């Protein structure tokens, strides 16, 4: 059996590499976006602002995950309380990733766009406050985390579903692509929850569930904004 300390450091090294890659990629993306793609006039500024908000959400999630992993590897049991930070950052990431799709898919319906953004933000803040601030139990947070992600994730799909089933003559390309990303995320979440390779003992000593949980959001969001 592998030494728990060595296994912890091994997992930390892999997850840290993934998070550092995400940080570098999106930092460089933001810099080149501001230099070459940010509009010089107020018209059409909502689209780039939504993209920057998304990038800020990804960067915040990477930093939170990296901070927690450092504490988990070198801080021992003291790091458990900080797991809320990583979980809360995941909820923020879901909210931030929804903003560009709402702006793009509801561009011709500003009232619907504003109403959905306001309602979704209120729900996201409510879940985040209840999840991170109001509940002090780490065990309860670990138990409720998948359900919080699923509920917020389903709400984030409303613009895509509306665009695919609405009055458009043909589905917008953004809606089709976003639905593919959502399917990929769903498969990744199912892989994380079911842990098929770990259950059959094919990858003893590996933590594919944790690695996929960290890699899946970054790879999907890189794909969306290529």
Task: Tell me the CA distances in angstroms from 105 to 45, 125, 157, one per residue in order.
Answer: 16, 23, 11
Q: Find, among 55, 21, 133, the residue nearest to 87 by Cα.
A: 133
Per residue in 20-64, pLDDT tens?
A: 888 898 889 889 888 888 887 777 788 888 889 988 998 998 898
Domain range list for the chain: 4-224
Burial (0-12, 13-18, 19+ Cβ within 10 Å), 160: buried
Contacts 24+ apart (CB under 8 A), 213-216: 213/188, 214/15, 214/18, 214/19, 214/65, 215/18, 216/184, 216/185, 216/188, 216/189, 216/192
Which residues, in sequence order, are CB contacts of 214 under 8 Å at separation 6+? Answer: 15, 18, 19, 65
CA–CA separation, 25 and 221 (whole Å)? 11
Greatest Cα pair distance in the chain: 62
pTM: 0.78
Per residue in 84-104, pLDDT tens?
A: 888 888 889 889 988 888 888
Per residue in 158-190, pLDDT tens?
A: 888 887 786 555 656 666 666 676 666 666 666
CA–CA separation, 38 and 16 (whole Å)? 31
What tokens does 63 get? 């930093």
Which residues, in sequence order, are CB contacts of 222 under 8 Å at separation 6+? Answer: 25
Pick the CATH number of 4-224 from 1.20.1070, 3.30.1490, 1.10.238, 1.10.3470: 1.20.1070
- Residue showing tokens 């960290």: 214
């Amino acid at each position: 059996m592998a030494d728990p300390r060595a296994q912890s450091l091994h997992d930390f090294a892999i997850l840290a590499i993934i998070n550092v890659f995400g940080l570098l990629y999106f930092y460089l993306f933001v810099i080149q976006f501001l230099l070459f793609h940010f509009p010089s006039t107020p018209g059409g500024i909502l689209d780039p602002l939504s993209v920057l908000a998304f990038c800020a959400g990804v960067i915040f999630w990477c930093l939170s995950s990296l901070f927690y992993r450092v504490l988990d590897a070198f801080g021992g049991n003291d790091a458990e309380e900080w797991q809320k930070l990583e979980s809360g950052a995941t909820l923020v990431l879901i909210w931030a990733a929804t903003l560009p799709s709402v702006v793009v898919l509801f561009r011709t319906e500003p009232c619907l766009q504003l109403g959905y953004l306001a309602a979704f933000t209120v729900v996201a803040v409510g879940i985040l406050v209840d999840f991170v601030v109001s509940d002090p139990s780490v065990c309860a947070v670990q138990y409720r985390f998948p359900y919080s992600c699923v509920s917020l994730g389903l709400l984030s799909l409303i613009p895509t579903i509306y665009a695919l089933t609405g009055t458009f003559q043909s589905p917008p390309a953004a809606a089709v692509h976003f639905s593919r990303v959502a399917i990929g995320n769903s498969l990744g979440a199912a892989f994380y929850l079911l842990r098929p390779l770990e259950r059959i003992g094919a990858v003893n000593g590996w933590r594919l569930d944790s690695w996929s949980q960290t890699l899946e959001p970054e790879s999907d969001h890189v794909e969306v904004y290529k």
